[in-house]
């Protein structure tokens, strides 16, 4: 025996479509493997008045970024931000495409940045947060990813006020050893000699979104059991996210017809 039920597809939280276009897609690399560090990124304390580092993100860790994509922003994922003061520092970022599969930049910062492109030189703020947060800057010089790996180097100086406790960076420590060279100082001059480590911050690469008509269903809410009464209507809600780079306003509720067979025993 055939029975018919009407499902009313209702767009749930329509503001996801109307106001939250995804101009930039963010990709994390290297992946977080539950390692953390207070020393591999600017941590906001007086001990990190000066901080420098250079690291490698390998090609196998960047497969989600299409070749010839334009990187327009960059950042970090933190397990916790600053405890006080939201330190503001001068932050300079360098990027370089590479075919290297191992870290070959050495332990001198001035030598490491030779051949790299300066893509940002401005302020960066470490937010106050007791929980996971992110730090993101918009590049002054967009960077074209040509495939392979990417060398990342950064130079930080903060004159204070400082945080009373260090920001905690999410890291990967199992992918590449060494994968990063870094050092910090409480006083000038900024350190040029770096020490190698397997701990690499989980960088965020912001890539310009080229999709102009893309949405995603990221959740459904429906009755846990379909009624066995013929002709009974059911309301199903869909949580929809706008994945395109523009505002989408032409998505509306729709009604669909679903047919199903009912056995002699209860339909569950």
> What totals of helices (H) and strands (E) does the chain contain, helices first?
2, 17
Intra-chain end-to-end CA distance of the chain, in Å: 16
Neighbour count for residue 116 (Cβ, 10 Å): 18
The domains located in the chain, with CATH, are 2-20+212-261 (no CATH), 24-208 (2.60.120)
Tens digits of pLDDT across the chain (268 residues)? 444 444 444 444 444 444 455 678 999 999 999 999 999 999 999 999 999 999 999 999 999 999 999 999 999 999 999 999 999 999 999 999 999 999 999 999 999 999 999 999 999 999 999 999 999 999 999 999 999 999 999 999 999 999 999 999 999 999 999 999 999 999 999 999 999 999 999 999 999 886 655 555 556 666 655 555 555 566 666 555 565 545 555 555 454 444 433 434 433 3
pTM comes to 0.75
Asked if 199 and 169 count as a contact pair (C-beta separation under 8 A), the reply is no
């Amino acid at each position: 025996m055939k029975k018919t039920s009407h499902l009313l597809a209702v767009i749930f939280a329509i503001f996801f479509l109307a106001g939250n276009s995804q101009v930039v897609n963010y990709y994390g690399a290297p992946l977080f493997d539950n390692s953390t560090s207070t020393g591999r990124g600017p941590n906001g304390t007086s001990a990190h008045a000066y901080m420098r580092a250079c690291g490698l993100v390998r090609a196998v860790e960047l497969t989600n970024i299409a070749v010839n994509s334009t990187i327009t922003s960059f950042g970090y994922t933190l397990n916790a931000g600053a405890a006080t003061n939201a330190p503001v520092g001068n932050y300079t970022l360098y990027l370089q495409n590479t075919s290297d599969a191992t870290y070959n930049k050495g332990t001198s910062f001035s030598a490491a940045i030779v051949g790299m492109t300066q893509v940002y030189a401005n302020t960066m703020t470490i937010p106050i947060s007791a929980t996971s947060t992110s730090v993101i800057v918009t590049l002054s010089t967009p960077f074209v990813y040509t495939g392979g790996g990417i060398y990342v180097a950064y130079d930080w100086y903060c004159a204070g006020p400082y945080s009373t406790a260090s920001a905690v960076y999410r890291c990967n420590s199992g992918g590449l050893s060494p994968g990063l060279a870094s050092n910090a100082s409480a006083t000038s001059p900024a350190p040029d000699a770096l020490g190698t480590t397997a701990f690499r911050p989980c960088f965020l690469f912001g890539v310009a979104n080229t999709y102009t008509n893309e949405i995603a269903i990221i959740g459904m809410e429906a009755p846990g059991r379909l009624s066995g009464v013929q002709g009974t209507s059911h309301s199903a809600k869909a949580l929809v996210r706008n994945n395109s780079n523009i505002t989408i306003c032409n998505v509306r509720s729709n009604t669909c017809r679903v047919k199903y067979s009912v056995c002699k025993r209860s339909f569950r």
